[in-house]
Structure 1
Amino acid sequence: MQVSVLASGSKGNATLVAMNGAKILIDAGISATRIKKALAAENVDAANLDAVLLTHEHRDHVAGLATLARWYHLPVYSRRKTLASLPISIQQAIADASRTDTLVPDSLFVAEDVAPYGATKSLLHPVDGAFRLAGLRITPFSVPHDAADPVGYRIEGDSTVTVCTDLGFVTQSVAASIDGADVLVLEANHDAELLKNGRYPWPLKRRILGNHGHLANTDAAWAVAHLERRPRDIFLAHLSQENNRPDLAKETVSNILAGQGIEIPLHVTKQDEAVRLR
């Protein structure tokens, strides 16, 4: 198993999960060139990705998607409302890639989407419940965020990796979805006091602090502390450059967990550099 958070933060997000021979990219929020180079540094050819999973349609999660679609004709999975909410330019790029003269192998498509040989196949795959992809079981789960139909993903093979960012708070269903993961990528966006006393205008502060905003360091820590089956490794993700610091996020989460008698390795993600676990 390999988990590499290629980039994480308000300027762009992308995470590689490689397991059981499958290679999945979760979000494509940085340029396709950066994604290609970052994957190469992880010994992965972008052309060999099995799919892209989108958590939601915000730019910092989809900015490189149109070019990736043109270059590699990758299938894209997400909730129907998310796919419908993608910028028209991205939808058009994916539609154009779907009509390429180079036929995409049937193995890249879920069974119900396979068309007769030579027919146009859509690269957009709306999903609701759990589905199988390249030998992995993938379960999208709803998260509270101000997007069309945002989700996290639970990816199960020989191990379980759960990616859960961009959420205002941890609901019971989210807690159930992240419980039992071997590796957890969890948002630790901000320190509440830094945010409240910072220079952001109040409407933006209110959005971030709201139930459909972003998760604070303390909330991330308590979410983990309350799990019945805790992960063996945690990535702290989507840190705010304005309202957080890597050392503060790690210290806050670590101290709360230690106070509960819990010790788990914490890996703080970065905006401009990959952070990996192999």
Structure 2
Amino acid sequence: MASTSGTAPRARVHAPWSATAWRDTAFVASGVPLQAAGWLIAGSLWTLWTPAKSVKILFLAGTSVVLVLLVLRPLTTWQRERCWAMLGLHIPRMPGFDDGRPRYTPRYLRSPELWRVLQYHMVAGPFLALGGLGVIAAWASGLALTGAGLYGWALPPSSPMNPVAHPARIVALTAVGVLLLAAAPWAAAGVRRLDARAASALLGPDRAKELERRVEDLAEKRASVVDAADLERRRIERDLHDGAQQRLVSLALNLGLARARPSAGSRTTPCR
């Protein structure tokens, strides 16, 4: 029973009519404009470029860099919200990138968090956008080719898509369309996995630094626990020492009083 329940969801996940396939497709398609936004914004000013002096080229390059830096934080926020809303994937904020207002100081520009975000939006993002466009094209082409035999009847007999004049071609196109529809969910799932891994690795805190920080926290907590235990041990030893000393003093006083009572009684007894 366990193996049956474990294999059945996999068959439904990659079926073209499954909700998971459409969720993956919607997630991948929604990421295309965000993932391509970095290069679109950086290249938008170059549409105004005309052969001119090198000063203008430097001005356009510097302006493009400034625009990309300005949109990095909102793009990153939207990517995190997209992952959470559509996949339930929570990507924590980065302490060196998301805290407070960005100050474009040399330290901020050299921070590893900024460069990791740039790697996602300027390197991984365009490839993921191409993958998303490929998934959309697979769905659209598959639907168009699969339905070729349906709308081909409305075409004139001289058309190469007419099913009466070219039945073998329509059968081949329909088969290719079915294969594309069968492969589109797998492609959407693959792009979705790559996007989720890239977003978690580049838009969230560095795992190595996070583990290092946790180890430091655990070391500090361990040291504080050891110090507290040492203080408690000293207090108990001090209490035991003081209590035993007080008891010895009390015992010595009691013994002294006990010795003094017989001698005092013998002195006060009258002789007959």
Tell me the TM-score normalized by structure 1: 0.22
Question: In proportion to residue count, which structure has more helix?
Answer: 2
Tell me the TM-score normalized by structure 2: 0.22
Structure number, greater radius of gyration? 2
Question: In proportion to residue count, which structure has more strand?
Answer: 1
